Amino acid sequence: IPSVKDVLANHFPIGAAISVPQTLGEHARLLSKHFNSVTPGNALKWDATQPTEGTFRFADADAMVDFAQANGMEVRGHTLVWHNQTPAWVFLDANGAAMTPTAQNKTLLLSRLDAHIRAVMGHYGTDIATWDVVNEVIDENQSDGLRRSRWYEIAGLDYIRTAFRVARQVSPTAKLYINDYNTNVPAKRDKLYNLVSQLKAEGVPIDGVGHQMHVNVDWPSVSESEAMIQKFIPLNVDQQVTEMDVSIYTNTSESFPTPPRDRLIRQAYKYRDLFDLYKRYSSELTSVTVWGLADDDTWLDTFPVVRNDAPLFFDEQLQAKPAYWGVVDPSRIE
């Protein structure tokens, strides 16, 4: 069967989120045949890279970067700053108590942020050319659009400014991204747009906007997702689809022991339609990444409820699904 990366070669690199097992055996063969970019799904997050202060662990991510280089693949670095998967010590004050919003704690927190980014980006140098510097900082229900995370409570908007400025100091050439979900929703992307617009006007070095694209067989429509891309064109930023998957479920009460054929077909047409859109915007979109290699390993098996989901190109036996044909050759979907 055709290689996805070859089919998309004139448009953009195609990536997959992986962990170490995807770099071994049959998974590795499938990965290197079809993809030319990888994103470590968890191994570059703060809890993985700096579980205790000053102790860095890079073994898993190093293994994935080595695999990528051996196979001529790019690596997306995900992620330097997030409200999840950040160890508790980061938000403890000098006495080991939970930080309260004081000037002293803000200074301490930003110095930890600075040290973390220097260590993690510095470890990889030019081996990782694209970083999700901050992840999921938007909350469209706040008037200023900023998620009330521990980062925000202690440091306000300065944690985002600091993260990008330090990242730029470490690497003058890396592409620095702000990454978020639900950018197909107008209220969410408007807040993201306002933030990026403000920060760019201040000179904060943001190069790109990442659209996660955790979607489903019915949502979004092509026009909703087209509005997502068009919104950011005036800002002169790169854009990437960073975490795409298409759930077979449309609400939390559904649960199928095995994926029904009609859902897999609907999924294939959703992949076809969205990839057709992305190909039309290949001057704006510099890569598209799906959030997993095959349905044997997907975060959607446990979120938002525990059930069997099947959101990717390949099934649990690593066989090509209708979704794969939706991207590669829609005439073969049925």
> Residues with catalytic annotation?
136, 243
Interface with ligand G3I (CB under 6 A), residue from 7, 28, 33, 42: 42
Q: In angstroms, what is the minimal distance from the CB of 304 to ligand G3I?
A: 10
For residue 219, the 8-state DSSP code is: B
Site residues for ligand G3I, 232-261, by CB under 6 A, read 243
In terms of CB distance, is 15 or 41 closer to ligand G3I?
Answer: 41
Q: In angstroms, what is the minimal distance from the CB of 142 to ligand G3I?
A: 19
289 close to 40: Cβ distance less than 8 angstroms: no
Interaction of residue 84 with ligand G3I, rule CB under 6 A: yes
In terms of CB distance, is 85 or 100 closer to ligand G3I?
Answer: 85
In terms of CB distance, is 44 or 328 closer to ligand G3I?
Answer: 44
In terms of CB distance, is 238 or 243 closer to ligand G3I?
Answer: 243
Q: How far apart are CA 67 and CA 22, in angstroms?
A: 10
Site residues for ligand G3I, 109-138, by CB under 6 A, read 135
Residue with tokens 């097992």: 21
Q: How far apart are CA 102 and CA 84, in angstroms?
A: 22
By 3-state DSSP, what share of the chain in percent is helix, strand and coil, each rounded to 5?
45, 20, 40
CB atoms near residue 266 (< 10 Å): 19
276 close to 333: Cβ distance less than 8 angstroms: no
CB atoms near residue 90 (< 10 Å): 20
Of 165, 18, 150, the residue nearest 84 (C-alpha): 150
Site residues for ligand G3I, 206-235, by CB under 6 A, read 212
Residue with tokens 């980014």: 117
Q: In angstroms, what is the minimal distance from the CB of 283 to ligand G3I?
A: 26
Interaction of residue 299 with ligand G3I, rule CB under 6 A: yes
Q: In angstroms, what is the minimal distance from the CB of 323 to ligand G3I?
A: 18
Chain positions contacting ligand G3I, by CB under 6 A: 41-42, 84-85, 135, 212, 243, 299
